[in-house]
Amino acid sequence: MQSTYSELLASAKQSIIKQCNVYQDYPVKGVGFLDISPIFMSTVDFDNVLTYWQHRFTNVDLVVGLEARGFVIGAAFAQKIGAPFMMIRKKGKLPGQCISEAYVKEYGADEFEAQVNALSKTSFPSDRKVNVLIMDDILATGGTLCASIELVRKLLSHNNVKEYKISTSLISSIKVLRGKEKIYEKYNDVSIDVIHEI
């Protein structure tokens, strides 16, 4: 019998709760850090998460992973669904010509970059909107996600892609920091999927 959407979501959420740990006052005092790395040590629990996403997101044309844990999540999911995968990295980590976007997070400022020609060899459908999925581990203040959305929009424009839909997916979010609300204020056409809110 095929699992329902709600069953898959519940299974993914349970796997996250079981495997992830919270470290207080890390990386700075006053910040609670949710460590998702133990979930990668369990093939069953990680696959529960990937399977939920596979049913949640269909017709994905490009998966984008954010440094650093978004690389693991995004690359694994892209392989599972047979989609191309692109990395968005912190400033100074990518060769060649890059575009950048600055952002503020809960414990400082940073900058993301993407290679200008990252999508030059990617073929997108011409008969419908291009579906892009941005993946990361945690949604906190929303700064990193806003910067990545802006970079993806710039890259799509650079490659003459005018019709597109950007979705985002995260393992968890810190509700009190209101990251979702801040993103929706700026990008009301972007969907945000969070498996487990804390």
Chain-centre distance of CA 20, in angstroms?
17
Q: Active-site residue 150, yes or no?
A: no
Q: Are 7 and 48 in contact (CB under 8 A)?
A: no
Point out the catalytic residue in the list 69, 89, 101, 150: 69
| DSSP letter (8 states) at residue 4 | P
Q: Active-site residue 197, yes or no?
A: no
Q: Which tokens go with 130? A: 């291009």
Query: What single string gives the DSSP state of each residue in 68-121?
Result: THHHHHHHHHHHHHT--EEEEEETTSS-SSEEEEEEEETTEEEEEEEETTTTTT
Point out the catalytic residue in the list 56, 67, 89, 106: 106
Q: Annotated catalytic sites, by residue?
A: 69, 106
